[in-house]
Amino acid sequence: MYFSGSLLLALFGGIYSDITVVARKWHNTGGSIVFEEAYTVPDMLSQVGNSTAALGGTNAELRANLLDISGHRIDLMNQNDIDFMILSCAQPCVQGISEPEKAAQMAITLNNQLAASIANNTERLGGFAALSMHNATVAAQELKRAVRELGFFGALLNDYQQAGADGQTLLYYDQPEYDPFWEMVTELDVPVYMHPRVNIPTIHNLEFSHAPALGGAVQEFAVTLSNHILGLCINGVFDRFPKLKIIVGHLGERIPSDLVRIDSALIRPNNQGLPMKQNVTTYFKTNIFETTSGNFAPELLDFHISQIGLDRIMYSIDYPFVNIPDGTAFLKTLSKRMKRQDYDSFIRGLAIKLQALTITHEKIPKFELLASGGTNAELKANLVDIEGRIPLMDQNNIDFMVLSCATPCVQGFSDPEQADQLAVSLNNRLAATIANNTERLGAFAALSMHNATVAAQELKRAVQELGFVGALLNDYQASGSDGQTPLYYDQPQYDVFWQMVTDLDVPVYLHPQNTLPIVSSLDFGHAPQLLGPVQEYAVTLSTHILG
């Protein structure tokens, strides 16, 4: 650590292949096509909880809008130039049912009910199948029935499937036992929309109890679902099924904003031998599509276009959790910024042809998991070395470097007294080590964050007596007799610390560390390679920052 000085579906017709397909009749007026749009049924209404509707709405309005299929929904479509809408069961839907037989039966019931509800208006409304993912073969057969008999366009899965007697076992679809399901998806040539869900209490309480407002769409949804999407990548699902098409909402759950870091972290030596044969960026250009549902940011859309291409991005809304008119205002802004051809592709063109999209894999550059040249022994030597880094600084035009204790440092010590003493010792030793070269080297203080007043006083000492330039905190402070209680610094008891930071007028660098073991096993057990800088660090620390 240093500072240097220097998606949708070929809805309709126009499917080009060797198979003759009868064109679907639909309301084609040149308007938009949207397909992350939720509904529910009375038996599932309890899953809605106390959620509120889109900005300005009430819980009662949300429930009414979810139950409504062809009333107010159609009126809003007409008022906002929406030609066609594909409906899907509101999260967590069947993924929240941990008993396999009950989940499988509920999926069949939901699909039959939705098909019946839209039967008289298939020119305006379509459906994504709800599926129980306890058993890959059962899921595959229900998807086949929903597509071929009910006329559905694919499926929408609300992230992981809860399982086990207590509902605490999480099933991820990046494992080989789900290959029969992905084989069926490929055979049917339909997309699967991966949608977020509320977490089981174990995960939610550990990761978000310090800042409950971060639950749901603010942070939780992107953190959890992006883990699953990256698991599909690194565990080789797209290599085993190169024609597979996955759609991810909310601008790809932020993954395309971080592709450079993810790809570079995955080529480190400890990640050699992964099942993946390409990098994540490649999969976003061949297998994964994203929509703008609930994320109407023109400048961010521009960046994503630069990263994965407009031919991977489509419009959707996330109704009724997001207001349809908000999406319309977004489109009006885009219509003034985009070329007409690009705009048409974004709001409808790609959605129309996606189901028949042909991907020429031969033109994709081969990506190999190459070693970066470093070893664990070299890493340890470089961490211990202080003066030896000066030649590297000279060779790379680095004027000044600020040093800090490698993660997790003091934040990994759950005993308060031990952590306090270690912080003092580390700061004294670092100050002595760089004393003869303060023109090139500076330091961030290590701090024990068990007690805000103690942390504030040590920071003051490090800055005023040792000449440090601020502090670096490695995310949350581990505490408790078992080290399983994370302390987050967004709580009022830490105000005395932040007051000292302000008084001293110095920065605090918040740096990632590994999650607690229980969270790690639940969030990343399905894809351990996502630990560390690939995904774990970003989702864990960003939750703290947003707190």
Q: Is 313 helix (H, G, I), strand (E, B) or coil?
A: strand
Asked if residue 320 has a cis previous peptide bond (ω within 30° of 0), the answer is yes
Choosing from 159, 189, 258, 318, the catalytic residue is 318
**CA distance linking residue 303 with residue 292, whole number of Å:** 13
Beta bridge partners of 170: 162
Which residues neighbour 288 within 8 Å (Cβ) at sequence distance 6 or greater?
Answer: 229, 246, 247, 248, 252, 312
**CA distance linking residue 71 with residue 54, whole number of Å:** 18
Instruction: Give the pairing of strands 477-479 and 485-487.
Output: antiparallel
Which residues neighbour 61 within 8 Å (Cβ) at sequence distance 6 or greater?
Answer: 53, 320
Closest to 483 in 3D by CA, of 512, 520, 449, 517: 517
Annotation marks residue 318 as catalytic:
yes
At 9, list the tokens: 């579906």
Write the burial class of residue 377 (CB in 10 Å: 0-12 exposed, 13-18 middle, 19+ buried).
exposed
Instruction: Give the pairing of strands 161-163 and 169-171.
Output: antiparallel
Q: Is 23 helix (H, G, I), strand (E, B) or coil?
A: coil
> Nearest 5°: phi and psi at 260?
-60, -45
**CA distance linking residue 523 with residue 68, whole number of Å:** 34
Closest to 314 in 3D by CA, of 31, 30, 35: 35
DSSP tag of 388: G
Asked if residue 92 has a cis previous peptide bond (ω within 30° of 0), the answer is yes
Q: Say how many Å lie between the first and final Cα of the chain, rounded.
A: 23
Beta bridge partners of 129: 155
At 511, list the tokens: 């740096």
Distances (CA, A) of 147 to 126, 192, 265: 11, 12, 39
Residues involved in catalysis: 318
